[in-house]
Structure 1
Amino acid sequence: MASLMAWALLSSQTARAIAQQTASAATQTPITTVQLPVQLPEEPHSTGHLSGTITDIDGAVIIDARITLTGTTTPPRTTLSDNTGTFSFTAAPAGEFKLAITAAGFAPAIRSATLHPGEQLELPPIKLPVATNTDVQVTVSQHDVAQEEMHEEEQQRLLGVLPNFFVAYDWRAPPLSSKQKFELAWKTMIDPSSFVVSGAVAGVEQWQNDFSGYGRGAQGYGKRYGAAFADGAIDNLLGGAVLPTLFHQDPRYFYKGTGTIRSRAAYAIAAAVICKGDNGRWQPNYSGVGGEFAAGAISNIYYPATDRNGAGLTIENGFLGVVGDVVNNLLEEFVFRKITTNTKHQGTANP
């Protein structure tokens, strides 16, 4: 009986130990969970590539044009066209967009389109017209340019002494205003060399006893001197200012300086009777020829009575004046240019 109870107790303890070991093993063993991957649907691209070229209306590329992209991104994006006129925006958000294009000297432009996801969009060439606004201000007038040209001409002297003011070595010289014509004539009249030349002419006439009605001695020389100075002054005033203003003509000789000797000589001779108008066109030299004959007519007032023959003196002095202009023009074309100081221009075109 005792043996039977001991066996039952042993069996009960053994069963309890096995149960505890089983429970402990169950508690310590981890449970592994296997999670299968889930395939999500791919999202479409949300950006694209945008590019183009900026040119003028003739197709020439425009460098450094400023292109601003708006509508698809915040804040706006800006880029400049390169040396081939092209521009691009990478990773530009898809959707409707606007491009604002500006470039110096050109009118601004705006382009709009739609960029689709993943699209490589190349826009047609964007052509900018030349700006037509009034941002450019003209600060130098034609009068100012003519004034500067006249000041340069007033520095021109033969051998650095005798005035050579009525010669334009710049073929593109603008026309003189009425005030400028009178100023040029006045400065020629009162130049010290004019008084010296008149004295030399009077001396020759005194020596040859020309215009004998003036007499001899200091009194005769004084009258001859006054007449010689009056001839030059009246010719300068009428032919260089009064008549050119009335007829709107340029009193200057425009130096040619190019072509054959024959063509230059023909031009110099013709310039005595043909001149450039204030409108830039060639026309009969009414002011130059008229000035010579008008000066001849006025000379009847102060020449000796014995030498006044009315129309005869007028015509004679007028023709002599025109011939003198021909000779002077030939000298201007072939000689005086080489000995004139302070010239800044060459002949720039053929007439």
Structure 2
Amino acid sequence: MRIALFTLLLLSTLAAPAQQLADLPDAPQPTQTTASRQQALAASAKEADLQSTPSVSKQQPKRILGIMPNYRAVSAGAIPPPPTPKEAFGIATRNSFDYSSYVFVGITSLIAEGGNSHPQLGKGVAGFGRYSWRGFVDKTDGNYLVIFALPSLLHEDGRYFAKGEGSVFKRALYASSRIVITRTYSGNERFNNSEIFGRGIAQAISTTYYPSKSRTVGQLSEKYAYALGRDALTNTFREFWPDIATHLLHRHP
């Protein structure tokens, strides 16, 4: 009897740990290693960068043909933060004092002098000089008003945001319309006060240094229309330049 009781007690004692082991929860499944998680995060970040970065065929260069400054252009699909007043001032300065500006003013002044646009300014080398400094002031004060002063005051983004997609007609219409439609700091669109009034103020300033016979309403209106038309054509050229460079000239940024 004692042997039977002892045997029963021993079996009970051995069964208890086994039951405790059986009651324990299942072992946790292996989790993703830290290295694997980092690789997954890196892949996701790379994919996001690829989605937010414009394709090569849509990127706007800083210069077109290595000559024309293109600092105001934003590549299609890119949405950078609005420029600070300091950044806008820098863009206006680079546009105004770039070496290409002197070439452009020289060509337009030569044409104006040759066509005797303002007879009171004279002809020849002296006349060319009078046309040149006035043309440079026209361009410079207009740039600072349209790119820096009024945009900073009115919270308008003076840059050109390329469209980069759609039919040629729609893109051309979009590009030329940017002289009357602009982007605000908050990302909305509204009437381009900076362009329309900035160019107008520049023409008003020009009455202080052009001859009296050149201050007529007709001549001022003609110069004003020329300035707006030039900006519309410049925007259109910016819009299509990546396509021209990639598909016609086979150039890549």
Q: Which TM class, normalised by the smaller chain length?
A: 0.7 to 0.9
Question: Percent of aligned pairs with the same residue?
Answer: 28
Superposed CA RMSD = 3.1
Q: Distance in 2 between matches of 1:336 and 1:237?
A: 27
The amino acid of 1:322's aligned partner reads: L
Superposition pairs for residues 235-274 of structure 1, below 5 Å?
A: 235-274=142-181
CA distance in 2, matches of 1:52, 1:260: 61
Kept in 1, the 8 Å contact 2:245–2:252? The answer is no
State the distance in 2 between where 1:160 and 1:296 align: 30
Matched, 1:282 2:192: no
1:214/1:304 contact within 8 Å kept: yes
Select 1:161's aligned residue among 60, 67, 77.
67
SS at match of 2:83: coil
For structure 2, the 5+ residue unaligned runs are: 39-58
Which residue pairs with 1:291 in the alignment? Answer: 198
Q: C-alpha separation between the residues in 2 aligned to 1:174 and 1:337?
A: 25
Q: Give SS of 2:25's match.
A: strand
The answer as to whether partners of 2:121 and 2:130 remain within 8 angstroms in 1 is yes
Which residue identity is paired with 2:74?
Answer: A
Query: Partner residue of 1:132?
Result: none
Is 1:317 the counterpart of 2:223? The answer is: yes
Q: Distance in 1 between matches of 2:86 and 2:3?
A: 103
1:50 maps to what in 2? Answer: 25
Tell me what 1:177 maps to.
84
Q: Is the 8 A contact 1:293 1:315 kept in 2?
A: no
TM-score by length of 2: 0.76
Change (3 A) 1:53 1:181: farther
In structure 1, the residue matched to 2:7 is: 39
Tell me the residue number matched to 1:63: 32
- Hey, what's the Cα distance between the residues in 2 that align with 1:183 and 1:305? 34
Q: Secondary structure of the equivalent of 1:323?
A: helix
Counterpart Cα distance in 2 of 1:290 and 1:330: 21
Q: Deviations over 1:222-275 (max 9, x none)?
A: 110011111111111110111111111111111111011222122112211101
Letter paired with 1:301: T
Taking the aligned partners of 1:281 and 1:62, their CA distance within structure 2 comes to: 46
Counterpart CA distance in 1 for 2:188 and 2:252 is 25
Matching residue of 2:113 = 206
User: Per the alignment, in what secondary structure is the counterpart of residue 182 of structure 2?
Assistant: strand
Report deviation, 1:319: 2.6
Amino acid at match of 1:50: P
Higher strand share: 1
Residue 131 of structure 1 corresponds to which residue in structure 2? Answer: none
Deviation digits for residues 102-134 of structure 1, max 9, x if unmatched?
Answer: x99xxxxxxxxxxxxxxxxxxxxxxxxxxxxxx
Once residues 298 and 343 of structure 1 are traced to their aligned partners in structure 2, the CA distance between those partners, rounded to angstroms, is 42
Report the count of equivalent residues: 219
Match of 1:76 in 2: none
Which structure carries more helix by proportion? 2
Amino acid at match of 1:256: K
